[in-house]
Amino acid sequence: MDHRFPKYLRFLVGKLDFISLPNLGMLISGLAVLGFVGQHVLNAPLDRFLFDPVAFMDGEYWRVFAFPVTSGPILLLFFVLYAYFIFGQLESSWGEAPTTIFTILSYLAAMGASFYAGVPLPIWQHVLTNVSLAFGSLFPDQELYFFGILPVKAKWLAALAGALLAYQFFTSNMYVKIYLVIMLSPYFVFFGPMLYKAAKMRLSVNRNRRRWGGD
């Protein structure tokens, strides 16, 4: 696992590496295809693919296995390619175990947010939010090609997602704030210490620049 992560996280991953799943991007892409077939070919209602905390508490325990859902073949193709690429990159940097653990924690956090909100939620949308933020933090200069032609660096996508989430956090009530903290907790667990050190170093550099610039 990346040496920049704190010791407690490396210890946790070391203890849980037995649950690692290889080729996680391919697995998730396959779930998306199955979800698309079920929804658009077999005409199953959308709510059957979402995690529903009320239905789960009523005994529909299979709800824990939510499927990624997309509204059309173009979005399905984009999801499949994006998931296959981004999870492959994380596995090459972290290894299979940390990537699997981060994904599972993101999934559980999204379920927790759904329980807190008391409504069905697209679990995998929240998982990809965490994964995309992680990808942007690890590979800021990696270029992604939207529609095969438009290059965008990962750090700008992560910055945009972070800005939107921050705006939502600071302009919403406490209920939504708690929801967002629950949903993003895996990212903060993995990257919180790194972000804190980076912010502290940036603050120190800016302070020194102002001091010497003023002299």
Cα distance between residue 49 and residue 19, in whole Å? 24
Residue 214 pLDDT > 60, yes or no? no
Q: Which residue has the higher pLDDT, 196 or 80?
A: 80
- Rounded CA-CA distance 199/4 in Å is 15
Query: Which secondary structure element, helix H or strand E, spans residue 121, and what is its range?
Result: none
pTM of the full predicted structure? 0.84
Decide which of 206 and 26 is more confident. Answer: 26
Kindly tell me if the per-residue pLDDT of 112 is higher than 90. yes
Number of domains making up the chain: 1
Is position 212 within any domain? no
Q: What is the CATH number of the domain that holds 164?
A: 1.20.1540
Contacts of 46 (CB under 8 A, 6+ apart): 39, 69
If pLDDT is split at 50, 70 and 90, which confidence band does 80 have?
Answer: confident
Pair 67, 34: CB distance under 8 Å: yes
Range of the domain at 87: 18-203
- pLDDT reported for residue 183: 92
- In the predicted model, what is the mean pLDDT of the chain? 84
Answer whether residue 210 is part of any domain.
no
- 3 has pLDDT over 70: no
Higher pLDDT, 171 or 208: 171
Q: Is 58 within a domain?
A: yes
- Please report the pLDDT score of residue 17 as a whole number: 80
The type of residue at 17 is: D
| 119 within domain boundaries | yes
Residue 12 belongs to some domain of the structure: no
